[in-house]
């Protein structure tokens, strides 16, 4: 959790949404899926210009490559179930980093972001769009409320997390729109990836994409280019809450390879 900018800066995002956004939308939605490509681009440019530099300064050798607004409207279901964000770069050496921050005040009613601590260490694997079945699907409601502590961010603060972290939030019950910024970073020079689950063939297809892809792609559709890989997704065994707790404890004792100091790495 970092304090990175003056809260007044956030007014730019609210104004941007008021000018361009769909005022009749309901529930949870993100600008990444908007049909209005000019709006998508305007949001991305504002986030990259006004917000990404302060985060980049805190990261060593990472660059931003995509930026969206996350909206939870006053009406409609806006629960964000426990999930992991899609894989956007090869994570074997270094993971992607997400910066998430509120642009309108957060409290219990508006719904704090919640995280399953340490889950980036014990929930490896490629995450596709749409997502294939996750090993915590059977317990996702209980997981969100009982196992994932709320992260109480104020305006001006951001949460930086490993892009494999399981996270989510309860619905917005505040009666007001809840607006948040979301930026993704990857190691400088990394190739951006997109993994699409072709449900008809039951294959996850991997694509190397450029930055514009995230501004123009129609989500859940086949990307309009050749894939570099394809694999059949596994149907994972569903974990219980007790098993997830055990995994967390074990991961604290024995971090994954890339977490270890270089001289302690297993060859």
Q: Kindly state whether residue 180 participates in binding ligand AKG, applying the rule CB under 6 A.
A: yes
Closest to ligand AKG by CB, 61 vs 141, is 141
CB of 170 to ligand AKG, least distance (A): 8
Distances (CA, A) of 146 to 20, 75, 143, 169: 37, 25, 6, 12
Give whole-number Cα distances, 56 to 65, 135, 151, 181, 199, in Å: 11, 32, 21, 15, 36
Pairing of strands 203-209, 192-198: antiparallel
Closer CB to ligand AKG, 109 or 262, in the complex: 109
Give the span between the Cα atoms of 231 and 65, in whole angstroms: 26
Residue 87 or 169: which CB sits closer to ligand AKG?
169
DSSP classification of residue 35: S
Task: Show Cβ contacts of residue 53 under 8 Å, excluding neighbours closer than 6 positions.
Answer: none
192 forms part of the interface with ligand AKG (CB under 6 A)? no
- Closer residue to ligand AKG in complex, CB, 119/169: 169
CB of 17 to ligand AKG, least distance (A): 14
Q: Is 80 in the site for ligand AKG (CB under 6 A)?
A: yes
CB of 182 to ligand AKG, least distance (A): 6
State the minimum distance, in angstroms, from the CB of residue 116 to ligand AKG: 12
For residue 242, report the phi and psi dihedrals to the nearest 5 degrees. Answer: -60, -40
**Residue whose CB is less far from ligand AKG, 182 or 185:** 182
Closest CA to 96 of 63, 70, 57, 122: 63
Measured from the CB atom, the residue of 76 and 202 that comes closer to ligand AKG is 76
Among 46, 73, 85, 162, binds ligand AKG (CB under 6 A): 85
Please report how close the Cβ of residue 102 comes to ligand AKG at its closest, in angstroms: 8
Q: Does 169 bind ligand AKG (CB under 6 A)?
A: yes
Among 2, 14, 30, 59, binds ligand AKG (CB under 6 A): 30
Beta bridge partner(s), residue 63: 186
Structure tokens at 47: 């986030």
Enumerate the β-bridge partners of residue 193: 208
Pairing of strands 80-83, 62-72: unpaired
Where along the sequence are the contacts to ligand AKG (CB under 6 A)? 30, 70, 80, 85, 113, 167, 169, 180, 182
């Amino acid at each position: 959790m970092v304090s990175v900018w003056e809260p007044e800066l956030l007014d730019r995002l609210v104004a941007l949404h008021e000018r361009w956004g769909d005022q009749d939308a309901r529930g949870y939605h993100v600008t990444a899926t908007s049909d209005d490509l000019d709006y998508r681009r305007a949001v991305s440019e504002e986030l990259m210009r006004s917000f990404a530099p302060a985060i980049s300064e805190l990261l060593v050798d990472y660059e931003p490559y995509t930026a969206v607004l996350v909206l939870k409207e006053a009406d409609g279901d806006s629960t964000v179930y426990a999930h992991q964000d899609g894989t956007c770069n090869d994570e074997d050496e270094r993971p992607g980093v997400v910066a998430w921050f509120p642009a309108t005040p957060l409290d219990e009613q508006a719904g704090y972001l919640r995280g399953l601590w340490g889950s980036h260490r014990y929930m490896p694997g490629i995450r596709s769009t749409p997502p294939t079945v996750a090993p915590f699907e059977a317990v996702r409601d209980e997981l969100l409320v009982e196992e994932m502590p709320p992260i109480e961010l104020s305006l001006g603060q951001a949460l930086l997390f490993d892009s494999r972290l399981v996270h989510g939030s309860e619905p917005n019950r505040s009666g007001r729109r809840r607006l948040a910024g979301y930026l993704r970073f990857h190691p400088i020079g990394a190739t951006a990836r997109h993994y699409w689950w072709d449900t008809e063939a039951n294959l996850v297809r991997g694509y190397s994409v450029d930055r514009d892809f995230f501004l123009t792609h129609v989500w859940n559709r086949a990307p309009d280019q050749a894939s570099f890989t394809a694999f059949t997704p596994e149907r994972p065994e569903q974990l219980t809450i007790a098993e997830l707790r055990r995994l967390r404890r074990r991961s604290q004792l024995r971090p994954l390879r890339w977490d270890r100091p270089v001289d302690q790495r297993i060859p």
